Structure 1
Amino acid sequence: MTVKRVAIHTLGCKVNQNEAEAMAGLFREAGYQVVDFDGEADVYVIHTCTVTHLGDRKSRQVIRRAVRQNPEAVVVVSGCYAQVAPGEVMEIPGVDLVIGTQHRARIVELAEQVMRERQPLNAVQDILRVQEFEELPVAETGRVRAFMKIQEGCQNFCTYCIIPFARGPVRSRRPEKVLEEAQRLVNNGYKEIVLTGICTGAYGRDLGEGIDLNRLLLRLKEIPGLLRIRISSLDPNDFTPDLIDTLTGDPVFCPHLHISLQSGNDKVLKDMRRQYTTAYFARLLQALRSRRPRIAVTTDIMVGFPGETEAEHESSLAFVEKMELAGLHVFKYSQRKGTKAYHFPGQVPYQVKEKRSHDFLALDKKLRDAYARSFLGETLAVLVETGVDGGCWEGHTGNYLKVRFPAAADLRGQMVQVRLEEAVEDFIMGSLV
């Protein structure tokens, strides 16, 4: 019997990547061979992104590429672009199945239904009415760090953001399900778990019963053998005094937080409907650093929001530099239909957005270099993830510095002490202690 082949291409964020890995796992369980996307397959899955116009365009390009590679294959389109524009996706010749951001757990069943019936199927549902968290198994692609999704959806409705329309309202995974899977992952050899979600800090708000992110973390840290817990991203407003105490009070929680700022200018933040000020963000960093000095804090920055003046850009740049962050993720504003900012006056020309992006990218390099170099000469714990060329091993410190060091023994999955010696490109070279 011929083994069916599936190829999966993912665009966009870490959550998308984790979901795609989970879907690949479902196909493997059903007997499929997962093959490279550039080769021939019986099923192609394109897990799309819609955060920017570029995400939409890239999604369409990849869909057409799949159709060209094997016109007889079943082409499945999932993810955020498929969710917000299912009709547009269905009109692309060769698309057989559109499932959006739900029904991913049923992807094999739906793909095989289309394979049998040879009738295109639009299975996208109204995501704003969905109330339940969709269970997807964690894809066990390694034995060191696992990404575990605990939350779906967002109800912040920032003026620039399409994600609430693509992902729907906040839905949280039941804490007992989270704890069961975390225990299983540790039993299978994982040492670190990264908690992910669309709005991770909103965990539990839909469940009631006194369930929230802080209480979940307190239960997770009691799992024997779980050496590290990392959180993928939080908003400034997610931090309560209890959460700050928890995240800074136990070494199992990595001294690394990604806190999404978006702009260092108060007028722009207000226009974005971000519901905090730069002064609040500065106080939050002070509170975190007073409890856990040298904690790595990274952030998202958007440039070219409608109406952003050159003076506001410069003040944003100055504020972010003053915060002495460990790194930035820089995005250019993209006009998205359905969002309030789509109709805002003062749309910033692309060339201006490009220039402002370069300003922040230069600052990002400066900040990353300064933070990494501040640890040279020190010895830190590194969780070893993989072997690299030259007889070296590579892993990350708790504060997410990528470290390489030479060693003859197989150290994968072990926590070792490494002296940090030289900053090289995007990693630090060190030696085993």
Structure 2
Amino acid sequence: MSASTPQPDPSIRPADRRVSARIGAIAESATLAVDAKAKALKAAGRPVIGFGAGEPDFPTPDYIVEAAVEACRDPKNHRYTPAGGLPELKAAIAAKTLRDSGYEVDASQVLVTNGGKQAIYEAFAAILDPGDEVIIPAPYWTTYPESVQLAGGVPVEVVSDETTGYKVSVEQLEAARTENTKVVLFVSPSNPTGAVYTESEAEAIGRWALEHGLWVLTDEIYEHLVYGDATFTSLPALLPELADKCIVVNGVAKTYAMTGWRVGWVIGPKDVIKAATNLQSHATSNVSNVAQRAALAAVAGDLDAVAEMREAFDRRRKTIVRMLNEIEGVICPEPEGAFYAYPSVKGLLGKEIRGKRPQTSGELAALILDEAEVAVVPGEAFGTPGYLRLSYALGDADLVEGVSRVQKLLGEARD
């Protein structure tokens, strides 16, 4: 499935168009919308438990916060700095990439961005021309297709489901490839499913992209959140010959519980990074210097904090999967990475629950919020109706209480 780039209505004078077709076609971030609604209901006094936002419930580690405090006191951080990022942070990101991924890059191949979303958009904007197609495996994170369309490209969805562990095959990718295909998106570990490709699966996709001269954009934001026997694979480290047409996006948000600090980065060929840096110089200029100094402390430090978080996420992962699979009509594969469960609820659609018969996962999510006071994100937001996404990046007690409420509600389903 593909979507064409939105075009303005030619029957309307340009001066009479209130919002551009390009921006008017952008959908609100469903995950942020669900999180905002849950917080608003909580503020109004309702005991809502939110499984919506992909945000660690841990505080940013103290040593990172202290680095930011010190940065605030230094007048040099009160001024403009290079649009592409502090030189020392870019060097530290290059060193961290070698340490964690085995991928050797130069600091000149790094662009520091305002979070991962800006990294993704600027990467696509730097390489896409109008009509270029980007293959996006679904379920996908809500921002990917929107970023492609903002950059003038055409998202082409390739759908997987629970029977394959939410992983697409080379055969599926090849069936979606056309003469207009320029990029394939590769995400492992995945948001929203927690799927992790094995090294052999990742290599097969990388070699397929090489064979057809395609670009690969790989999102490595969840690189350190893998569980059990699963392992993270960095495509350009696995296949060095892919590096000239490979762009890596990453950031500090998930690994160091720094979602609000807004520091991400793009790694890629020097000409692409130069182009994306030029774009950023006009769009936002440099990322907050204080946030960059905090990110420098994070990436230059050890991984002890993420090891503690990973242990907690692993415990919660097992609990939420067990409890969801106890609900008749729900099928929840065990996620191997990130911090999301993505159960199929197709077995519940059309059944009567407290006088209502939800026909879609969107309607079911609304019912769960109204009746159980639990916020989840419907699969429609991720390109695959019939599913729900639940983030288990929340406290153990809230997780058990929230899923228990869902169990009780959905346990009432009747034909």
TM over 0.5: no
State the TM-score, normalizing by the size of structure 2.
0.29
State the TM-score, normalizing by the size of structure 1.
0.28
